[in-house]
Amino acid sequence: MPIQVLMPALSPTMEKGNLAKWLKKEGETIKSGDVIAEIETDKATMEVEATDEGTLGKILIPEGTADVAVNTPIATILADGESAADLAKAPAPAKQEKAAESAAPAAAKAEAPKAASAPQAVAEPDPEVPAGTEMITQTIREALRDAMAEEMRRDPDVFVMGEEVAEYQGAYKVTQGLLQEFGARRVIDTPITEHGFAGVGVGAAMTGLKPVVEFMTFNFAMQAIDQIINSAAKTLYMSGGQMGCSIVFRGPNGAAARVAAQHSQDYSAWYSNVPGLKVVAPFSAADYKGLLKAAIRDPNPVIFLENEVLYGHTGEVPKLDDFVIPIGKARIVRSGSHVSIISWSNGMTYALKAADELAKDGIEAEVIDLRTLRPMDTETIINSVKKTGRAVTVEEGWAQSGVGAEIAARIMENAFDYLDAPVARVAGKDVPMPYAANLEKLALPSAAEVVEAAKAVCYR
């Protein structure tokens, strides 16, 4: 029976890609290991190798086709003795089939885009964007790259360092093109040495340079957390204001997809505990851009928490010469009067989906994207809760000592008399992140849990 070649998944979070090129023609003999096609993601072009032998029977997806979903049959291979007449016998693709094992790169270190499936519908206009501004559609990955490039053009003291940021163009392709524009002096590949290069960055910042230090993921920054907290966050205070450091530590934070406990952890609460640090964790593409530019200009150390799952998401980014969003301001993304849902980063995905669901049941949720965790925009939260009388926090991190716990405390301190129900928290489950797909899903928050919590505080 003919064998189907399926569109391969090239990374943990890839959902689709472009079929760039066929390297074999129909009727050509194929040996195991032959490169048969090239697949393009928005960060890389990957070769697809055959795992079966035979003759290329039929090309099902012609080259140049964009957005081919993972697991879509792209060709059939005929075994010895089979002919084109047998093609009809090819099986329908099984959904759970593991595609193209041979083409999968080192899983933990690579990524490809995911479909822009998250609800990015924005009810409230962004006050930072002047009315009538032209918008461009960009992935978050591109927005981050543009923010860095713009700041590097503006200030020769800004440089980027980290693992694979230069020649490889970024492990997640966030620094794509920076080496070509700014050269190896300002875009620096480091050895795999997080503790050391974090310290080198802080030392350089103490002299007045403005490093942007990329961690391949914040999970690896635990090796460097001493330099981040003891050196970067505390020096200004310990020196009586004489010496501080303007530095950005950035990289993906939180759960990726199917990379298990050591690569899936949310550090929002960890860093937001520390005075001397600013902590930013945006959700929309425009915020990623405007806030990264603000972070680079900030004279203090800034932890800039990105989300790997969001890198490939697209959003509208204002086409302005210098679009900077001030650190420390939350944004009401959807207004409502029945319950306040407060989240940030990828937690917003669940919050916004839940708000859509709740609206169907007549519950109008006000959704607040915190954007910055430290300093926290308490005022926006409190004003909203005074209006709604109910609040739900949503985070991917653990509940204990989490950011949601902090928000709940601030609401209690500042708006206790306005509350009609106890604040509810939706958070990651109190376990290390499991690998199995079903368990991973259970460990993360969901829109359904947010809906349930919102209904509970509304006594519905």
Partner 1 sequence: MAAPKKAAASSPQDKTDGGSPPEFTREQELKALRDMLLIRRFEEKAGQLYGMGAIGGFCHLYIGQEAVVVGMQMALKEGDQVITGYRDHGHMLATGMDANGVMAELTGRRGGYSKGKGGSMHMFSKEKHFYGGHGIVGAQVSLGTGLAFANNYRSNGNVSVTYFGDGAANQGQVYESFNMAELWKLPVIFVIENNRYAMGTAVSRASAQQDFSKRGVSFNIPGKQVDGMDVRAVKAAGEEAAAWCRAGKGPFILEMQTYRYRGHSMSDPAKYRTREEVEKVRHDQDPIEQVRNRLLASKVSEADLKAIDAEVRDIVNASADFAQHDPEPDASELWTDVYR
Residue 165: how many CB atoms within 10 A of its CB?
A: 25
Which residue's CB is nearer to partner 1, number 210 or number 331? 210
Please report, to the nearest 10 degrees, the dihedral formed by the alpha carbons of residues 14, 15, 20, 24 taken in order. 90
Token pair belonging to 27: 């009727």
Q: Which of residues 340-379 bind partner 1 (CB under 8 A)?
A: none
Candidate list 197, 218, 271, 344; residue touching partner 1; CB under 8 A: 197
> Which residues are designated catalytic?
194, 263
Strands (E), 355-434: 365-369, 372-374, 391-398, 424-428
- Residue 326 binds partner 1 (CB under 8 A): no
Contact 151, 186 (CB under 8 A): no
What is the residue whose two structure tokens read 């550090």? 267
- Residue 385 binds partner 1 (CB under 8 A): no
CB of 190 to partner 1, least distance (A): 7
Q: Which of residues 136-195 bind partner 1 (CB under 8 A)?
A: 159, 185, 190-191, 193, 195
Candidate list 155, 226, 379, 413; residue touching partner 1; CB under 8 A: 226
Please report, to the nearest 10 degrees, the dihedral formed by the alpha carbons of residues 363, 369, 370, 371 taken in order. 170
Candidate list 65, 102, 300, 414; residue touching partner 1; CB under 8 A: 300
Handedness of CA 78, 82, 83, 85 (dihedral sign): negative
CB of 200 to partner 1, least distance (A): 4
Contact 254, 396 (CB under 8 A): yes
- Residue 127 binds partner 1 (CB under 8 A): no
Q: What is the DSSP string of 287-327?
A: HHHHHHHHHHH-SSEEEEEE-GGGTT-EEEEE--TT----T
Which residue's CB is nearer to partner 1, number 244 or number 251? 244
CB of 159 to partner 1, least distance (A): 7
User: Given the DSSP bridges, would you call strands 391-398 and 424-428 parallel, antiparallel or unpaired?
Assistant: parallel
Candidate list 177, 199, 318, 434; residue touching partner 1; CB under 8 A: 199
Token pair belonging to 193: 């040495």
- Residue 1 binds partner 1 (CB under 8 A): no
- Residue 228 binds partner 1 (CB under 8 A): no
Token pair belonging to 189: 């590949």
Which residue's CB is nearer to partner 1, number 103 or number 206? 206
CB of 205 to partner 1, least distance (A): 7
Which residue's CB is nearer to partner 1, number 127 or number 299? 299
Which residue's CB is nearer to partner 1, number 216 or number 354? 216
Q: Which of residues 387-416 bind partner 1 (CB under 8 A)?
A: none
What is the residue whose two structure tokens read 């930013």? 280
- Residue 329 binds partner 1 (CB under 8 A): no
Task: Report the amino acid identity of residue 233.
Answer: A
Which residue's CB is nearer to partner 1, number 2 or number 276? 276
- The phi and psi torsions of 29 (rounded to 5 degrees) equal -75, 140
CB of 229 to partner 1, least distance (A): 10
- Residue 299 binds partner 1 (CB under 8 A): yes
Which residue's CB is nearer to partner 1, number 228 or number 423? 228
Q: Which residues of 373-412 are buried (b: 16+ CB within 10 A; e: fewer)?
A: bbebbbebbbbbbebbbbbbbbbbbbbeebbbbbbbebbe
Candidate list 4, 18, 55, 227; residue touching partner 1; CB under 8 A: 227
Token pair belonging to 200: 């080198």
CB of 75 to partner 1, least distance (A): 45
Number of residues that bind partner 1 (CB under 8 A): 39
**Cα 397–Cα 399–Cα 401 angle in degrees, nearest 5:** 100
- Rounded Cα gap, residues 293 and 149, in angstroms: 10
Which residue's CB is nearer to partner 1, number 33 or number 208? 208
- Residue 41 binds partner 1 (CB under 8 A): no
- Residue 275 binds partner 1 (CB under 8 A): yes
CB of 394 to partner 1, least distance (A): 28
Q: Which spans of this chain sit near partner 1 (rule: CB under 8 A)?
A: 159, 185, 190-191, 193, 195-209, 226-227, 230-231, 235-244, 275-276, 278, 299-300
